[in-house]
Amino acid sequence: MPGEVGVGDALVTSQPGMFVSIRTADCFPILIADPEKRVVAAVHAGWRGAISGICSKTIQAMERSVGSHPNDLLAVIGPGIAECCFEVGPEVAMQFEPFVEERTRIDLEDVIYNQLCRSGLLRERIVKSGICTCCEGEMFHSFRREHEGAGRSISAIGVLF
């Protein structure tokens, strides 16, 4: 049913004509498609989502609900805050591997990419944008750069027919 489902980290649909979308400003939009089972998913992952394994959970949900095979899936990791701009304090850094207890930069895109690979997606079927939302101010909204006034970028995916 069209409308807003409120705050969530992942949306999955197989209904023709229906699009699922997410709004981000530095967090990563991940769009996943299963051309065999005709199912799509839109995932929103900040560092907390990445640590909680939101992509793996979404893929598991696709496997459970419609019998998706991970090696059939296509995924795009859209623009988010890249390693160049994502510096975190020790309290966040220590939650990522390899564990460090000091200020450091985190490559969330790579964390998400590796998670998709561990879930069984084929490397050649995962596309990384490689774009930093914080550096690319002309094109993307960034919470870190614009703070509370930041707009949001919209990523959407659907099953057309």
**Given the complex with Zn ion, which of 82 and 112 has the nearer CB atom?**
82
State which residue has the least CB distance to Zn ion.
Answer: 132
Residue 84 lies near Zn ion (rule: CB under 5 A): yes
Q: What is the DSSP letter of 137?
A: T
Residue 106 lies near Zn ion (rule: CB under 5 A): no
**Given the complex with Zn ion, which of 74 and 131 has the nearer CB atom?**
131
Residue 93 lies near Zn ion (rule: CB under 5 A): no
**Given the complex with Zn ion, which of 130 and 149 has the nearer CB atom?**
130
Cis ω on the peptide bond leading into residue 35 (within 30° of 0)? no
Structure tokens at 51: 């640590």
Q: CB 157 → Zn ion: shortest distance, Å? A: 25
What residues from 123 to 152 belong to the interface with Zn ion (CB under 5 A)?
132, 134-135
Among residues 43, 82, 108, 126, which is the contact residue for Zn ion, using CB under 5 A? 82
**For residue 30, what are the CA distances in angstroms to 3, 33, 108, 109, 136?**
20, 10, 12, 10, 19
**Given the complex with Zn ion, which of 108 and 121 has the nearer CB atom?**
108
Question: Which residues fall within 8 angstroms of residue 16, CB to CB, at 6 or more apart?
Answer: 38, 159, 160, 161
Cα–Cα dist 150/5, whole Å = 22
Q: CB 41 → Zn ion: shortest distance, Å? A: 26
Structure tokens at 90: 């020790």
Binding range to Zn ion, per CB under 5 A, among 57-65, 78-86, 103-111, 123-131: 78-86
Q: At what angle do helices 108-118 and 54-66 cross, to 10 degrees?
A: 30
Binding site for Zn ion (CB under 5 A): 82, 84-85, 132, 134-135
